[in-house]
């Protein structure tokens, strides 16, 4: 008599094609110029006296993204070509 059991099953899977594009190459970024770009009078830029926290956040986010887009190169299109169907144990 055996003290173990054997399980056998089939599994049908579907993989979805993924597309990755516009990834920033942070290892190739021009950080010196990004720092110069961000070297501004933050008190004047954010205008604490006349702006809400949400307005200041939006201004900050727009400026940061502008700097990133300007000084960080982007990688080309990457695409995975996974098989549409996979069946185990055939």
Measure the CA–CA gap between 60 and 43, rounded to whole angstroms: 11
pLDDT for the residue 84: 46
The tokens describing 49, both together, are 């006296």
Half-sphere exposure of 35 (CA within 13 A, CB side): 3
Q: Taking the model in full, what pTM does it have?
A: 0.59
pLDDT above 70 for 56? yes
* 16 band by pLDDT with thresholds 50, 70 and 90: confident
pLDDT above 80 for 4? no
pLDDT above 80 for 21? no
Q: Round the average pLDDT of the chain to a whole number and report it.
A: 82
């Amino acid at each position: 008599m055996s003290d173990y059991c054997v399980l056998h099953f089939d599994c049908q899977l579907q993989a979805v094609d993924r597309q990755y594009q516009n990834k920033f190459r942070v290892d190739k970024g021009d950080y010196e110029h990004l720092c110069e770009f961000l070297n501004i009078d933050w008190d004047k830029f954010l205008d604490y006296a006349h702006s809400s926290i949400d307005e200041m956040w939006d201004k900050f986010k727009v400026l940061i993204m502008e700097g990133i887009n300007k000084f960080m190169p982007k990688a080309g299109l990457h695409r995975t070509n996974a098989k549409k169907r996979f069946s185990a144990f055939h």
